[in-house]
């Protein structure tokens, strides 16, 4: 039933509109004795006087400051309560909340940047970490190609929180793996041997710095290393024929795990 205006006071509906508070909240505050209307119409409708409205306004302000209803009651009704002290304590809590939200906002900004451009490093930092041959436009091309994949999202999440020092550790691990692959090829390590299988597993572990790599995904990646001119140039620059040799290493390791390299697909499950 709609509220009907009455002489000498405001109805629940009028107060609700004036204070931007729901009628349900006003009824609840009335029921618990926090802010009751002083008047009633002959038909029993609640009517709020100017004094009632002033108390309600204080309730709304304190509630917006984050005080609970029980605490608001104490602040309003307990003459011994140190109201400024209570408000200062609440202000301190709000300041802490603002600080947390600002840090959350900064983290979200980093996550957005990482999704859009990969490593959050300047061009100078990228050159220092990845070497002078590093192409700073590479992550942007990768995003255009893989930006809608779960792996890019995983890569971005890692990039958002990774420091230059942590990126340096990743780059060092990759360089050490490349060195080990070249030395293993020179030593005549045979695909399918324990030494070769260990290198294949080590490659998966190092690559997990970017995103988790299943064995089927690794087969697809090794195939791309051989077929893609850019990747092939990198590996064959370490040792001529290394891209093809490493693909054979990965294929043999996959077969040992019951995976047929010819049917391997880029999937997320092991």
Residue 5 pLDDT > 50: no
Distance, CA of 130 to CA of 185 (rounded, Å): 24
Distance, CA of 42 to CA of 236 (rounded, Å): 95
Residue 199 neighbours by CB under 8 Å, 6+ apart: 177, 180, 181, 184, 189, 249
Q: Which residues pair with 48 in a beta bridge?
A: 10
Confidence at 254, pLDDT banded by 50, 70, 90: very high
SS3 46: strand
Distance, CA of 247 to CA of 228 (rounded, Å): 12
Backbone dihedral angles phi then psi of residue 9, each to the nearest 5 degrees: -170, 175
b/e map 218-239, b = 16+ CB within 10 Å: bbbbbbebbeeeeebeebbebb
Mapping DSSP onto H, E and C, the string for 153-210 reads HHHHHHHHHCCHHHHHHHHHHHHHHHHHHHHHHHCCCCCCCHHHHHHHHHHHHHHCCC
Residue labelled with tokens 């090794």: 222
- For the record, the structure tokens of 259 come out as 């995976």
Contact assessment for residue 238 and residue 176, using Cβ atoms and an 8 Å cutoff: no
Q: What is the pLDDT of residues 216-247, one digit of tens each?
A: 999 999 999 999 898 899 899 999 999 999 99
pLDDT at 7: 55
Q: What is the pLDDT of residues 76-125, one digit of tens each?
A: 888 777 878 888 888 888 888 889 989 888 888 877 877 777 777 787 88
Distance, CA of 8 to CA of 12 (rounded, Å): 13
Q: Which residues pair with 47 in a beta bridge?
A: 39
- For the record, the structure tokens of 232 come out as 């092939």
Q: What is the pLDDT of residues 9-22, one digit of tens each?
A: 899 999 999 999 99
Residue 3 pLDDT > 50: no
pLDDT at 269: 47
């Amino acid at each position: 039933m709609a509220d009907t205006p009455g002489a000498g006071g405001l109805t629940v509906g009028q107060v609700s509109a004036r204070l931007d508070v729901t009628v349900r909240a006003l009824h609840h505050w009335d029921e618990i004795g926090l802010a009751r209307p002083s008047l009633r119409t002959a038909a029993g409708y609640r009517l709020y006087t100017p004094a009632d409205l002033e108390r309600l306004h204080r309730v709304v302000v304190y509630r917006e400051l984050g005080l609970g209803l029980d605490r608001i009651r104490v602040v309003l009704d307990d003459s011994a309560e140190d109201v400024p002290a209570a408000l200062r304590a609440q202000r301190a809590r709000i300041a802490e909340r603002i600080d947390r939200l600002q840090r959350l906002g900064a983290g979200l900004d980093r996550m957005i940047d990482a999704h859009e451009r990969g490593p959050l490093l300047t061009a100078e930092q990228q050159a220092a970490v990845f070497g002078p041959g590093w192409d700073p436009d590479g992550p942007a091309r990768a995003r255009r190609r893989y930006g809608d994949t779960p792996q890019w999202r995983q890569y971005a999440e890692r990039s958002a929180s990774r420091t230059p020092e942590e990126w340096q550790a990743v780059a060092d691990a990759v360089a050490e793996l490349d060195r080990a692959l070249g030395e293993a090829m020179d030593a005549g390590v045979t695909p399918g041997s324990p030494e070769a299988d260990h290198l294949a597993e080590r490659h998966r572990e190092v690559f997990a710095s970017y995103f988790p790599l299943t064995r089927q995904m690794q087969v697809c990646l090794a195939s791309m290393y051989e077929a893609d001119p850019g990747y092939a140039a990198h590996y064959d620059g370490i040792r001529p024929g290394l891209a093809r040799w490493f693909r054979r290493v990965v294929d043999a390791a996959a077969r040992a795990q019951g995976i047929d390299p010819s049917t391997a697909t880029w999937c997320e499950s092991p």
